[in-house]
Amino acid sequence: MTAKRLMTLSELPIGQEGTVSSGPVAADGRTVEQETALRLFEIGFIDGERVRVVARGYPGGEPLAVRVGDTMFALRRFEAERVLVTPVCEGAP
């Protein structure tokens, strides 16, 4: 059995699907500011939810266009860095 690779939503390549692996967290593992965490939770970034980065702004890659379910959101990079995801491998058995 292999360990699942976790990455932040901001690291997920355009077009690749991922699964939210935990609620919003800060880089050091503490809960992020309540307002940011609540916003991310309310728009659907909950454990087990499928997400996909659709596009990145130019220049600088910000904001990120992210699809959660049937809805598209624009996230700033600092918000996307607070959502941990596990990439979904389409061809995996």
* CATH code for the domain in which residue 15 is found: 2.30.30.90
Q: Specify if 72 maps to a domain.
A: yes
Cβ neighbour number for residue 68 with a 10 Å cutoff: 20
The phi, psi pair for 19, rounded to 5°, reads -115, 130
Structural domain includes residue 60? yes
The verdict on residue 30 lying in a domain is yes
Domain that holds residue 24: 7-87
> Looking at residue 9, what is its pLDDT?
92
One digit per residue, pLDDT tens: the chain, 93 residues? 445 688 999 999 999 999 998 655 555 555 556 778 788 888 888 889 999 999 999 888 889 999 998 899 999 998 898 888 999 875 554
d(C-alpha 79, C-alpha 86), whole Å:
17
Predicted local confidence at residue 32, as pLDDT: 55
**Number of domains the chain is built from:** 1
> Per the domain annotation, does 2 fall within a domain?
no
What pLDDT does residue 61 have? 83
In a domain, 42, yes or no: yes
Q: How many other C-beta atoms are found inside a 10 Å radius of the C-beta of residue 58? A: 7
pTM to 2 decimals? 0.77
